[in-house]
Copies of this chain bind each other. A is one copy, B any other.
Amino acid sequence: MRRASLATLFFVILVAIWHFIVRAGIWSPVLLPSPQSVGEYLVGAVRDGTLLEATGVTVRRLLFGYLIGIAIGLPLGLFTSASKFAEDTIGVMALGLQTLPSVCWIPLALLWFGQTESAMLFVVIMGTVWSVVIATDTGVRNIPPIFARAARTMGSRGLHKWTKVILPASLPFLVSGMKQGWAFAWRSLMAAEIYVTILTGFGLGHLLHYGRELQAMDQVIGVMLVIITIGLLTDKILFSPIERFLHNRWGTGLR
């Protein structure tokens, strides 16, 4: 309790300092808006639905692209881990493409798909898929061979081996790969939205971009706060339960 209230106090003081810096007028309000004006922007944007709509658009794009990315990356990763040839070809490709920031796909995506949802999806998928391929591959390769041996002696082979032994055994790696994939997807979508206008819907990135165009710092900072909140929430909602389950089962990471 004392810890929590101390920490809260810290953040309250931080906002207070911010407030007084703005009040003191050291910097122009164009450079640093007051906490009040950021709050007002947020309230206003929630009221008129802008924020909710933009969040909806962004999250929808992210989820779709991410799920498709996993659906492609997981089998590919299993494939590269199972075959030497696939490792030397798809695996090498995945390694290279993973180092390519997925923003770099935006120009191509725009030329191929135009300013459409497909272009956004493509960028998000490119952000996800290679991380997932590599994580799956590493995960499978890091399974203690003793698991596979034990399973084999009990008669597990083929599909049973892959679904009941190899996939669950590599779960800790898979999850960390998926977290990384999510981080990259999230980053590339934001970059894509800031960079290009999509006719079918404005996301949070667009709000941020317009905030800059209008030199509305309250909007910029307000939207950044929303983005942080979403980031923290998805972590809580999407990954925390899986990680808790893993820690629970594997008995790891318990402080």
Q: Which residues of A contact B (CB under 8 A)?
A: 3-4, 6-7, 10-11, 30-31, 84-85, 88-89, 92, 95-97, 99-108, 110-112, 141, 180, 183-184, 186-188, 190-191, 194-195, 205, 208-209, 211-212, 215, 217, 220-221, 223-224, 227-228, 231-232, 234-235, 255
A191 to chain B: which residues have CB within 8 Å?
A: 101, 103, 187, 191, 194-195
A4 to chain B: which residues have CB within 8 Å?
A: 88
Asked if A235 and B85 sit within 8 Å, CB to CB, the answer is: no
Distance of A211 Cα from B102 Cα, bound (Å): 16
Contact partner of A187 (CB less than 8 A), chosen from B110, B188, B208, is B188
Asked if B101 and A190 sit within 8 Å, CB to CB, the answer is: yes
Asked if A99 and B211 sit within 8 Å, CB to CB, the answer is: no
Asked if A10 and B188 sit within 8 Å, CB to CB, the answer is: no
A85 to chain B: which residues have CB within 8 Å?
A: 3, 6-7, 10
Q: A99-B232, A235-B99 are in contact. Are A224 and B89 (CB under 8 A)?
A: no
Q: A99-B228, A104-B190, A195-B191 are in contact. Are A111 and B6 (CB under 8 A)?
A: no
Instruction: Label chain A's interface by main secondary structure.
Output: helix
Report the nearest B residue to A223, measured CB to CB: B104
A108 to chain B: which residues have CB within 8 Å?
A: 217, 220-221, 224
Q: A31-B112, A195-B191 are in contact. Are A107 and B6 (CB under 8 A)?
A: no
Pairs A–B under 8 Å by Cβ, sample size 7? A3-B84, A96-B231, A99-B227, A99-B232, A108-B224, A111-B212, A191-B194
Q: A11-B89, A191-B101, A227-B104 are in contact. Are A111 and B141 (CB under 8 A)?
A: no
Q: Closest CB-CB distance, A248 to chain B, in whole Å?
A: 18
Asked if A212 and B107 sit within 8 Å, CB to CB, the answer is: yes
Q: A89-B10, A92-B7, A111-B220 are in contact. Are A101 and B212 (CB under 8 A)?
A: no
Q: Closest CB-CB distance, A205 to chain B, in whole Å?
A: 8
Report the nearest B residue to A5, measured CB to CB: B88
Beyond A3-B84, A100-B231, 7 extra complex contacts between A and B, CB < 8 Å: A7-B88, A99-B234, A101-B191, A104-B205, A111-B215, A111-B220, A191-B194
Per CB-CB distance, the 8 closest pairs between chain A and chain B, nearest first, are: A99-B231, A107-B212, A7-B88, A191-B191, A101-B187, A101-B190, A10-B89, A103-B191
Q: A107-B220, A215-B111 are in contact. Are A228 and B7 (CB under 8 A)?
A: no
Asked if B227 and A194 sit within 8 Å, CB to CB, the answer is: no
Q: A110-B212, A111-B212, A184-B187 are in contact. Are A100 and B224 (CB under 8 A)?
A: yes
